[in-house]
Amino acid sequence: MKSDFINELGILFNQNNSISDDDYNKLNVKRGLRNKNGTGVLVGLTKIGSVQGYTVDKKGKKIPEEGKLYYRGIAIDKLVKKFGKEKTFAFEKTMFLLLFGKVPSNFELKMFISTIKEYRHLPDEFIEDFILRKPSADIMNQLQRAVLCLYTLDSKPDDVDLSNLIDQSLNLIAKFPSLLVYCYQACNYKHFNESLIIHNPVEEYSIAENILHMLRIDNKFTPLEAEILDLILVIHAEHGGGNNSTFTSHVVSSTRTDTYSSISASIGSLKGPMHGGANSMVTQMIEDMKKNTNPYDEVKLKEYLKGIFEKQLFDKKGRIYGMGHAVYTISDPRAVILKKKACELAREKDALEEFELFSNVEKFTKEIGKELKGKDFEICANVDLYSGFVYKLLNIPSNIFTPLFALSRIASWNAHRMEQILVDKKLIRPAYKAIDEDGNVFL
């Protein structure tokens, strides 16, 4: 009875809420905050990060070019090269850079890490009452709740003075790795009948090292594993103000609400499969390939990829996950960097055949795209194609791929939040037009 009524309400809703593409076009509505040529509508300015994947000519046509990503004006490849030579705490240095606009000096880094260590502890009652009790089957949902619960530990949760915002940012950065791993362990215990194992973080470890330490039953990891996880956190750390979860931080922060509400909202945005959940979809797609064909046979792999393009295979949406990006056209600089390290890790793990499969997905998707859509069609591998593969080699469970993405963005979301509160000061409020059943605008 109840389900029948719900179905009837669904039919009623569809009848009274359908809006045609013609209505959107007639009123020049920029759906998804995108211009007609696919470029983003300019809604703000930022000094934190920038993304470039094309130029626009005088006629408004997008001209593809090699992708570029900048953190505070520094190209990501140069930043990775610089931090790679220094070997340790690359992610911590990156977070300092994003928050405060400069690569930290040795003293600044020492104080930054010392503060994070000081704030790392979670009270036992917090772990028991807010994490272990009633854990969600979805880690991202659990993280949202846990972040909101940190509000209760803050003596000045609603204060938006700069010094307090910085203090809250460092507190979240410090606690988030433990929140992530403990939420994962609680979920496994409650929903998948696994043993509950809680490891405390190690004081001298970096964030990447502590994640591997707390995740693994035996606490063991190799230097290369920690180095590559550190790298993934660095290349995911920032992507300009226009990506959905960062823009969410701007929108929510413009109301002057508290930091915990803002970060929780950004986590909720990132949870969506059209945003942060894409790397999990890559894993599912590869597993589907292995189930339904022999993807190590190049001819059969091409046939399968063509079937996806034609909406006949996998989820029948015509999308090859890990390929294509809203901004990048010819290349995603993050994917270029990670692909090299993925090959190195695959060699250590004796998984070069698997690496070759992902590399072939990239190569053949480009070829098939041009065959089906014309020689001017450009599509590149995005970072999700190789991040899921690397996570798998690191024995990181697929249900924390996206939570790790959230961890990488904590500093950036807070940096954009502070920028919104201190610089823009305007409540973000876009316009919607109300139309009748004939598409005519109300008064």
Give the active site residues.
325, 384
**What is the b/e burial string over 308-317, where b = at least 16 CB atoms within 10 angstroms of the residue's CB?**
bbeeebbeee
Q: Residue 390 and residue 407: Cα distance in Å, rounded?
A: 17
Q: At what angle do helices 259-270 and 162-191 cross, to 10 degrees?
A: 50
* CA separation for the pair 331, 337 (Å, rounded): 11
Nearest alpha-carbon partner for 341 in 329, 355, 331, 327: 355
| Beta strands at 62-71 and 49-56: parallel, antiparallel or unpaired | antiparallel
Residues 6+ apart with CB under 8 A from 320: 285, 305, 308, 309, 361, 365
The answer to whether 240 and 49 have CB atoms below 8 angstroms apart is: yes
The CA–CA distances, whole Å, from 200 to 214, 216, 230, 404, 407 equal 7, 12, 19, 18, 18
Residue owning tokens 């389900």: 3
Strand-pairing partners, residue 55, are 63
- Of 175, 196, 137, which is closest to residue 399 (Cα–Cα)? 137
In Å, what is the CA distance from 401 to each residue of 180, 293, 392? Answer: 11, 26, 9
Give the helix ranges, DSSP H, for 36-104.
76-86, 90-100
The encoded tokens of residue 249 equal 């931080």
Instruction: Tell me the Cα Rg of the chain.
Output: 23
Phi, psi of 441 (to 5 degrees): -80, 135
Enter the tokens of residue 46: 């930022």
Element (H, E) at 357: helix 352-373
Query: How many Cβ atoms sit within 10 Å of the Cβ of residue 421?
Result: 20
DSSP letter string over 369-431?
Answer: HHHHH-TT----B-HHHHHHHHHHHTT--GGGHHHHHHHHHHHHHHHHHHHIIIII-PPP---
